Structure formats: C-alpha cells, structure tokens
Chain A
Amino acid sequence: MPFPSAISLRDVALIGPELLLGAAGLLLLVAGAIGKGLTQKDAARVAGFSLALGAAVLFEVRSVVGAIPARLFGGSLVLDGYAFFWQLLALASVGLVVLMSSRGLESIASRASEYFALLLIATSALMLMVAALDLLTLWIALETMALSSYILAGIFTRERRSNEAAIKYFVLGALSSAILLYGISLLYGATGTLTLEGLAGAMPAALTQGSRLAPLGGLLVAAGLFFKIAAAPFHFWVPDVYVGAPTPITAFLASASKLASFAVLGRVFLVAFGGVQVEWQPVIAGVAVVSMIWGNVGALTQSNVKRLLAYSSIAHAGYLLIGVLAASETGLWAAMFYAAAYAFMTIGAFSVVALWSRGTYAAESCSDYAGLGRRSPYLAASMLIFLIGLTGIPPTGGFFGKVFLFAAAVEAGWTWVAVVGVLTSALSLYFYFRIVVFLYFTPAAEPATGGETSSAPAISAASIGIGLCAALTLALGIFPGPLIDLIKQSLLAMR
C-alpha cells in the first residue's frame, strides 16, 4: 500500500472542518475539567457554534475543491460530492441533536461539556468516515465514532437503563468492529490492497479465481456494516440501546450515526464491490427484506415510543438498503434523498419525545401523549407530520423518498423487494398512527392542572429544532426538486 511520503499542508487544510470539530471537542473537554466547568447552556452554545463554523468551512472547502474529487493523504480520503452530501447531512443532524439537548440533561449538568465534546468528536469522525477511501481509514473513523457513542449512550451514569444500554452497545459494537476488521484483513489477504478502488479492480479477478477469502472477507465487512446501520438480523442491540440512551443520543444513533454508516456501506458496495454486484445483490435483498419485515412487525406491539421508533429505524435501514440493492444511479440518489428526509423526521420525532418528557425517562409510553393535541397543538401537529412522513404518506419528504426507492427497485428489476417494501410501509401505518390516536383521539388521563401547557415553554431551543424538522419534512414533500438536483449534481463527479 502506498504511503504518502510527506503530508502536504493542502491536505491538512482540506480536512479543516473535521479538525475544527475535533479541536472544539477537545477544548470543551478541557474547559469542562477546569474549575466549575461550563454550564449546559454554554457548552451547547459552543457546540452549536462549532458545528455552524464547521459547516461554513465545509462549504469553503467544497468551493476550493470544485467538481473534481480531491484525494487527500495518498488516496485514503476523498472529497467528492458524495462525501460532501453526507458530511453536510451529518452536520445538520448533529446540529438538530444539539438543539434538542437543551432539555433533559439536568441530571448530568456538571458533565455537560463532556457530553457535547463527545458529540463533536463523533461528528468529526463521521465526516472522515464518509470520505474514507481505504478500509483502514474507514475503520479507524468508524471506531472513533463508535467509542464516543458508547460513552454517550451511558452518560447517565446513575441510571441503570443507561448503563445497560452502554454495556450492550459496547460489547456488541466491539464484536462487530472486530468482525469488520477481520473481514478487512481477509480482503487484504485475498487481494493485497486496502483501498476501495484497488479492491474494485481486484475483486472480480479474485472471485473468478475461486478465492474463498475474498467473498468471506466481503461478507464479514458487510456484516459489520449491517450492524452499524442496525439492519436485521444484526439489530438485536437496537431496542435496548435506543430505549436506554438519553433521547438526544438515541436520535443521534438513529440519524447521523446510522446514516454515515450507510454512506460507508454504499461506498464500499458500489465502489469496492462494484464489479461483482451480482454476487452480493441477493445478500442485500435478503437483509433489506428481513429488516423491513422484522422492524415493522416488531414495532406493532410496542407501547414504549422510543422502542417503537427503534424498531422503525430497523425498518428504515431496510428501505435505505433498497437504494444500494438497485446498484444504479437512481438507487443511489433515491437513498440519499431518503436519508435526508428520514434524518429530519426521526430527529423531529425524538425531539418531541425529549421535549415532552419532563424527567429523564418520562413520556415514553404512548399513553403519555394522550391529549397532546389539545394541550400543545403545535407540538402534536409536528409529531403528526413526522409520523405521516415515517409512514410515507404525502405531502412529506418520507413519501418522496420511499417512492424514489421503490422506483429504483422496480427499474432494476427487484420488484418483489419493492412489493415487500410497499406492503410493510402500509403496515407501519398501524403502529405510527397508534401514537396519533393518543395525540388526538384520547383525552388526557389526568386533568391538566391549571396552567395548560406549563410543561412545554413557548419557545425553546428544542422547539425551534422541532419546527425546523417539521418545516423541512414538509418542504421536501412539496418541493423535492432542489434537493434532488443537489444530490444529482454531487453524484456527477463521483465516478
């Protein structure tokens, strides 16, 4: 493997956003340890500001790089439109997560800066992940992200469920990382290269020579990535971790972390294994179908909202995989569009949960939402928009995302997968709308005492985040054109 003889300054400058976020994270860690540390509000402000600055620098980098992908550090990172899109999406998602973190962290107030620091470091890793062009860089970025997530999931050190989430996530996550790494080593053994483009050249030859290492390595890499995107049957950690982790962190796992891992999976399959798609398409089809069915059926019986959304996120991993399955231009941009829509809907839904819960783990049962439509009409209406979107009913971004994905499947000849997809989407109506029943049809269990909306302040950072998510979900459902054009443009330069 060719190592760069010297690290050029230009390369370092071009990963400015990642460095900036990493540095901001470290600074927050230090600042939190000095004296009394930072208040939750100040730490959140620093994090939000760093993210905004990171986004600004990212745009600057993009304009410097231009349409032609820039390879950095001897080809271990690439700044192309694909990476740019996912980096932007990661920044936006984490920004929304920071907004929703304005409540519900009271019990760890003294360690707030730690929380935001880890979030920033994870973001930095996410952005490197989606730009990685060789498997080792990819693995290191993925691990950095994962390690931060393990701690974040367990940040409520006194809550047993948070501990449980962290332990489960860590043990299973470490296992999956090991599997991924083992797969990488097998691939290296079979082909002698770790770069995705090198693999693209070597895989067809390795397969035709009847190598057993190459397909096994590919399968193990795939299994590791399926774990990260929470696709069935690699999803067993998801419900418990999603329920136990602090709600903003759950939103982070379900959006930024899952989607960046998906971006990696897409790049690995479509670039590194691009020449041998016939071999892996059945695997992806199987995992997609199992995820859609298992996720949606599993959600049917859940009465805990976070657990319900956890199962739904398994199902959505399945829908996203359809984009990779199609292995086409349409499939790719459909999946990217869907990812964006899904991020806003999911973060929005978790934000409503976070905002409505008064204590740390309150408002998790569906029945806690009884009468919300009366007490807090805007909050309820936003939740309705997210649920409609997650089901895939217009006029929401979720609808278009699903239509595009199913279109890609039909176009590529995977109609039966599309049939499973549409039927499970229809099925998902049942459990998403069980929440709606509580929002609008059921009167509040206990009479609202005096001040009606006392629990939800009129305008808070979290409610701004929810409003943004709702507006974006609707905007993508009415005028999806601009985002499609943006994605298609970013893909033009990918190959």
Chain B
Amino acid sequence: MFDWVHGVPILSLICFLPLAGALVVMFALRDPATIRRFAFGVALIDFLLSLPLWFTFDAQGPLFQFKEGLDWIPSIGVRYEMGIDGIALLLVLLTTLLGTLAFLSSWSAIREREKEYYTFLLLLQTGMLGVFCALDFFLFYVFWEVMLVPMYFLIGIWGGPRRLYASIKFFLYTLVGSVLMLLGILALYFWNGRGLFGWTGAGNPLSFSIEQFHRIGPSIPADLQFWIFLAFFVGFAIKVPMFPFHTWLPDAHVEAPTAGSVILAGVLLKMGTYGFVRFSLPILPEATRRLVPWMIGLSVIAILYGALCAMAQRDMKKLVAYSSVSHLGFVTLGIFALNGPGLSGGVLQMINHGLSTGALFLLVGVLYERRHTRQIADFGGLSAVMPRYATIFLIITLASIGVPTLNGFVGEFTILIGAFSRSWLWAIAATLGIVLGAAYMLWMFQRVFFGPVSHEENRKLPDLSGRELVYLLPIVALCFWIGLYPKPFFRILEKPVAFLVENAERAAPVANPDAVLGR
C-alpha cells in the first residue's frame, strides 16, 4: 500500500492550506455566503487532512515524525524543518478541530466585514499550526509572531466595546515577551556555535535546529542556562499566562468575538505551555530544576488566584477567562513537577482545557448571540427554556470541574499524582483549587439555569439549532472519550514524556536535590 502520509509533506499541507484559503478569500471571493462556506470548507478539509496523523503516528517510533526539511536561509543556518512528536500531534489535532468548530460558530455571529474576518481566521490557523509543527527554532519564532497580527485584528475589529484597548494590550504584552525570547534563542544559537560572552561554545555549525538544541542543551553552563531560561520564561509565561503576567487575558477574552475567544483559550494559551515542554525543559534542564520552586509557586498562586477571581465575576465570559488562568496553573504545575505523571497529565490537561474551555466560550457565545448580554444576573431558569443547551452546558461544566468519567478528571488526577510524589503541600494547594473550581462553576450554573425564569425576555429563547449542536457535540464526545478511555492519549504521550523526564534528570547533579525540590 502506498504510504501516502509519509510520501507527501503532510505537515506543510496542513499548515499552509489555510494560508492558501486566506489568499483565495482575499483576492477571489466576494459574496459573504460563499466566503463563509468556503472558509469552513478549508478548515474542515484541514481537519480531515490532520486525522491521518493520529492513525499513522507510531507511538513506539522515533520522537519526531513526519519530518520535512528544506534550506531556508542557508547563510545563517535557518532551515524550514517540520516534524511532530506526540505532544505536538495532539495540539495539531486540537487546533484543526477547534478551528473548524470556530468557523462554524462564526456563521451567524459575524455579519460584517466577513471577507476580512475569514481571511484573518485562516491566517491565524496557519500561524498556530506552524508553531506546533516547526522543528527549527527560528521558524517557530516566525510563526509565533506572525500569529499575533490576525489575532489582534480579530479582537480589534469584531470585538466588544473595549476592543481597542484589549487588542493592543494583548499584542503589546505578547510582543514584549516574544522579543525577549528571541534574545534567548540567539544566545542559544551562538553558544551552539563558537560561544558567547566568554563561554566557550559547543563548536557546532550554526543552526537553529530544535533537535540539535535538545542534544547540546544539558551541556550549557548553568549560569547561561539561567539567563536563557529567564528570557524564554517571559515569553512563555505571558502566553500561558502565568500569575503575574495574566492581566491581558481577561481583557482579550472578554472583548474577543466568540471564535476568537475559543481559539485564544483553546490553542493560543497552549503555545506557552508547549514552549515550556518543547524548549525550557529539555534544553535547559539545570536551570529548570533550580527554578522549580518558583515555577510551582507561581502555578499554585495562579490556580488559587484565578479561581478566587473567577468566583467574583458577574460576566460569564470573564468568569471563564479567569478559570483559564486557574486551569493553566494546573498545567504548569504538572509540567514543573518534572515527573512522568505530572508531565503527561499536564500535556493531557492542555488538550482537556482546550476542549472544555473552548466549549464554554462557544456556549456563552450561543447565549450572547440570542440575548446580547453575558451578565449572569440577566439569566436564571434557563434549563426549562433551553433543555438541550442546559444539558450540554452541564456536561462541559462537569468536565471543567474534573468530575470522573469526563476528561478534566483524568488530567487533574494525573497532575495531582505527579505533584504529590514531589510534595504533598503542592498537591493540597492544588486540590483546594479544584474545590474552588467546582464552587464557581456550579454556582454560575445554578444562577443561570436553575430557579424560576427571572427575566421575561428569556422565556422565548430558542434552544440549540442543528448547526450549534454540530459544533458542540464533537467536543462533548471527546470529553467522554478522554474521560472514559484515555489510554490512546497516554500511549502517544509516553515517548515524549519519557524523553522529557530523562532529560530533566540528565546533566550535572544538583548539590542538594532535596533542598531544591522542597522535600
């Protein structure tokens, strides 16, 4: 049988199909209805193209698969290199899936300047897929920055009342982070070559290859590792966002149109945590180990602080936004536990959060389209009016809280195992976050859906339409799948996680590991 998946540059196809679609929308199409259908068609084909990756990815095979490589700027050693490991595979699938659903959700929500809207949405898709597929650090960085522009426009043109402020804040924050990350990349690049600032380098030919950096990473001197880690940290932590850098998130989330929020929460935030597992951990193990207490501290603060903030919100979208801060805190907690369960749980929780929070934003969007308000106080008793909507909302709420049989439970539980085996203190703090999470989610659910119908205008709200069901049900199905049978996911993550754990333990031993790890 012709192995067409390995025979064609599948990753490039997946990555650049949306770009091609965007060009067609930009230059060739005029009619809004055609643009809508065409853009959705492109996203759907992209998703279907990415499905074979799941079936043909060899969990026991080499770490990076579906590799492609071309010279891009040979004079400075920049290559066009693509390839994915299990982690990136899951994120690519999440991106194409959520992208498709986001297109479908915009169908009726976006009724002005549709041509530009779908152009930007498609460009965004290319940028995000490129980030996850790139195996060259420079290429990664290009995608990482390119993606900011369409997101800026999505928030700025189709956003809510404070969209100008929110869009530039989002852009500025992430740009500051990424330019500092660039300096870190450059330091790495020169150290891989001749060396810099008096540190003798590895003496390799100049290259930005991520695999090359994985090889030389652990031999980088500890103090240089520290500085590079810091540079990366600013970039990734702002993106995640981790605790002190999170203030752009509620603004961006609240003002963005539904599709924007879905992609922002579902995919963009994962780029930060992906950065940690792809770069910080394997390339800078020494610095990572030394900074674990700080990272864990920030994660725990994010978990609790995000949850407390979420509890105080009156706007549903803002509540979900703060819940993201809390959930991403779990992810970083798992990642920086630096052990098997923590890491695989953290990565799986990235997917879970993408699904459940993406779905929550979609659901809030559904309600907003009908009532043009997101205030919790404007609703009440909706379960009688919109039973189907209420059911799906409940399932997603429970998934987000982490109730067994749903995906959130699997992720959070695994993270807790990882955290517990490091320190019971962290685990307890994190558990408190879960309790708070249940509190604010259920409280919101209660206020919106139970009791008598408090507002007359809510009495006639139509239940979910067929199109809305089409984009919500796949997520519900996936939540159950991961909740009931997560084994295929863990199997795919096995190898990359083993690589990360092994790398984290490599390099020079810390003088007193117990002191560092807080045991």
**Residue A406 at the B interface, CB < 8 A?**
yes
A410 touches B186 (CB 8 A): yes
CB within 8 Å for A411 and B196 given contacts A429-B171, A437-B164, A440-B157: yes
Most buried by B among A399, A415, A422, A484: A422
**Residue B481 at the A interface, CB < 8 A?**
no
**Residue B333 at the A interface, CB < 8 A?**
no
Nearest CB on B from A60, distance (A): 27
Name A477-495 residues within 8 Å CB distance of B: 480-481, 484-485, 488
**Which residues of A lie under 8 Å from residue B72 when comparing CB positions?**
481
A418 touches B183 (CB 8 A): yes
**Residue B145 at the A interface, CB < 8 A?**
yes
CB within 8 Å for A423 and B176 given contacts A393-B145, A394-B146, A399-B145: yes
Question: For the complex, what is the distance from the CA of A415 to the CA of B227, rounded to whole Å?
Answer: 12
**Residue B229 at the A interface, CB < 8 A?**
no
**Which residues of A lie under 8 Å from residue B196 when comparing CB positions?**
410-411, 413
Nearest CB on A from B126, distance (A): 11
Question: For the complex, what is the distance from the CA of A399 to the CA of B189, rounded to whole Å?
Answer: 18
A429 touches B172 (CB 8 A): yes
**Which residues of B lie under 8 Å from residue A49 when comparing CB positions?**
none
**Residue B109 at the A interface, CB < 8 A?**
no
**Residue A388 at the B interface, CB < 8 A?**
yes
Q: Please pick, from A393, A413, A423, A426, the residue contacting B197 in the complex, using a CB distance under 8 A.
A: A413
Question: For the complex, what is the distance from the CA of A124 to the CA of B157, rounded to whole Å?
Answer: 47
Name A421-445 residues within 8 Å CB distance of B: 422-423, 425-426, 429-430, 433, 437, 440-441
**Which residues of A lie under 8 Å from residue B73 when comparing CB positions?**
480-481, 484
Q: Please pick, from B116, B149, B157, B180, the residue contacting A388 in the complex, using a CB distance under 8 A.
A: B149
Question: For the complex, what is the distance from the CA of A484 to the CA of B78, rounded to whole Å?
Answer: 13
**A381-408, CB under 8 A of B: which get 1 and which 0?**
0000000100001110001000110110
A485 touches B149 (CB 8 A): no
Q: Please pick, from A393, A418, A426, the residue contacting B146 in the complex, using a CB distance under 8 A.
A: A393
A394 touches B142 (CB 8 A): yes
Count of interface residues, chain A, beta-carbon cutoff 8 Å: 31
Question: For the complex, what is the distance from the CA of A483 to the CA of B62, rounded to whole Å?
Answer: 37
Closest to B179 in A: A422
How many A-B contacts if CB must be within 8 Å?
Answer: 83
**B60-82, CB under 8 A of A: which get 1 and which 0?**
00000000000011111000000
**B155-174, CB under 8 A of A: which get 1 and which 0?**
01100000110001001100
A403 touches B197 (CB 8 A): no
B145 touches A481 (CB 8 A): no
CB within 8 Å for A395 and B146 given contacts A406-B183, A410-B183, A437-B164: yes
**B175-208, CB under 8 A of A: which get 1 and which 0?**
1100110110011011000001100000000000
**Which residues of B lie under 8 Å from residue A484 when comparing CB positions?**
73, 75-76
A393 touches B148 (CB 8 A): yes
Nearest CB on A from B287, distance (A): 17
Q: Please pick, from B156, B168, B171, the residue contacting A440 in the complex, using a CB distance under 8 A.
A: B156
**Which residues of A lie under 8 Å from residue B389 when comparing CB positions?**
none
Question: For the complex, what is the distance from the CA of A423 to the CA of B175, rounded to whole Å?
Answer: 9
**Residue A419 at the B interface, CB < 8 A?**
yes
Question: For the complex, what is the distance from the CA of A404 to the CA of B138, rounded to whole Å?
Answer: 12
**Which residues of A lie under 8 Å from residue B116 when comparing CB positions?**
373, 440
CB within 8 Å for A433 and B183 given contacts A440-B157, A481-B73: no
**Which residues of B lie under 8 Å from residue A441 when comparing CB positions?**
156-157, 163-164
**Which residues of B lie under 8 Å from residue A394 when comparing CB positions?**
142, 145-146
Nearest CB on A from B341, distance (A): 37
Question: For the complex, what is the distance from the CA of A96 to the CA of B517, rounded to whole Å?
Answer: 62
A407 touches B149 (CB 8 A): no
Question: For the complex, what is the distance from the CA of A429 to the CA of B174, rounded to whole Å?
Answer: 11
Question: For the complex, what is the distance from the CA of A393 to the CA of B179, rounded to whole Å?
Answer: 10
**Residue B153 at the A interface, CB < 8 A?**
yes
**B132-160, CB under 8 A of A: which get 1 and which 0?**
00000000001001101100110011000
A411 touches B190 (CB 8 A): yes
**Which residues of B lie under 8 Å from residue A429 when comparing CB positions?**
168, 171-172, 175
Nearest CB on A from B221, distance (A): 16
**Which residues of B lie under 8 Å from residue A480 when comparing CB positions?**
73
Nearest CB on A from B213, distance (A): 16
Question: For the complex, what is the distance from the CA of A484 to the CA of B176, rounded to whole Å?
Answer: 27
**B360-371, CB under 8 A of A: which get 1 and which 0?**
000000000000
Most buried by A among B145, B156, B171, B175: B175
**Which residues of B lie under 8 Å from residue A410 when comparing CB positions?**
183, 186-187, 190, 196
B182 touches A406 (CB 8 A): yes
**Which residues of A lie under 8 Å from residue B197 when comparing CB positions?**
413, 415
B156 touches A426 (CB 8 A): no
Question: For the complex, what is the distance from the CA of A399 to the CA of B148, rounded to whole Å?
Answer: 14
Question: For the complex, what is the distance from the CA of A388 to the CA of B148, rounded to whole Å?
Answer: 11
Question: For the complex, what is the distance from the CA of A415 to the CA of B153, rounded to whole Å?
Answer: 33
**Which residues of A lie under 8 Å from residue B175 when comparing CB positions?**
393, 426, 429
B75 touches A481 (CB 8 A): yes
Name A47-65 residues within 8 Å CB distance of B: none
Question: For the complex, what is the distance from the CA of A410 to the CA of B185, rounded to whole Å?
Answer: 11
Closest to B159 in A: A441
Nearest CB on B from A427, distance (A): 8
B182 touches A430 (CB 8 A): no
Closest to B194 in A: A411
A433 touches B168 (CB 8 A): yes
Q: Please pick, from A395, A411, A430, the residue contacting B168 in the complex, using a CB distance under 8 A.
A: A430
Nearest CB on A from B346, distance (A): 29
**Which residues of B lie under 8 Å from residue A418 when comparing CB positions?**
183, 186
Question: For the complex, what is the distance from the CA of A415 to the CA of B176, rounded to whole Å?
Answer: 16
**Which residues of A lie under 8 Å from residue B176 when comparing CB positions?**
423, 426
**Which residues of A lie under 8 Å from residue B157 when comparing CB positions?**
440-441
Question: For the complex, what is the distance from the CA of A324 to the CA of B126, rounded to whole Å?
Answer: 37
Q: Please pick, from B74, B75, B168, B186, the residue contacting A407 in the complex, using a CB distance under 8 A.
A: B186
Nearest CB on B from A451, distance (A): 19
CB within 8 Å for A440 and B183 given contacts A393-B146, A433-B171: no
CB within 8 Å for A437 and B156 given contacts A423-B179, A481-B73: yes
Question: For the complex, what is the distance from the CA of A413 to the CA of B198, rounded to whole Å?
Answer: 9
Name B41-61 residues within 8 Å CB distance of A: none
Question: For the complex, what is the distance from the CA of A419 to the CA of B73, rounded to whole Å?
Answer: 24
Q: Please pick, from B164, B168, B183, the residue contacting A419 in the complex, using a CB distance under 8 A.
A: B183
CB within 8 Å for A485 and B156 given contacts A394-B142, A423-B176: no
Name B89-138 residues within 8 Å CB distance of A: 116
**Which residues of A lie under 8 Å from residue B156 when comparing CB positions?**
437, 440-441
Question: For the complex, what is the distance from the CA of A404 to the CA of B72, rounded to whole Å?
Answer: 15
**Which residues of A lie under 8 Å from residue B149 when comparing CB positions?**
388, 393
A488 touches B142 (CB 8 A): no
B146 touches A485 (CB 8 A): no
A422 touches B180 (CB 8 A): yes
Closest to A488 in B: B75
Nearest CB on A from B141, distance (A): 8
Nearest 9 interchain pairs by C-beta: A422-B179, A426-B176, A426-B175, A394-B142, A410-B186, A481-B73, A484-B75, A407-B186, A394-B146
Return 15 A-B CB contacts under 8 Å, by A number: A393-B145, A393-B146, A393-B149, A406-B183, A410-B187, A411-B196, A422-B179, A423-B176, A425-B179, A426-B172, A437-B156, A437-B164, A440-B156, A481-B72, A484-B73
The chain B residues found within 8 Å of chain A, CB to CB, are: 72-76, 116, 142, 145-146, 148-149, 152-153, 156-157, 163-164, 168, 171-172, 175-176, 179-180, 182-183, 186-187, 189-190, 196-197
The chain A residues found within 8 Å of chain B, CB to CB, are: 373, 388, 393-395, 399, 403-404, 406-407, 410-411, 413, 415, 418-419, 422-423, 425-426, 429-430, 433, 437, 440-441, 480-481, 484-485, 488
A-B contacts besides A399-B145, A411-B196, 14 pairs, CB < 8 Å: A373-B116, A388-B149, A393-B146, A393-B149, A406-B183, A406-B186, A413-B196, A413-B197, A418-B183, A422-B183, A423-B180, A426-B179, A440-B116, A481-B74
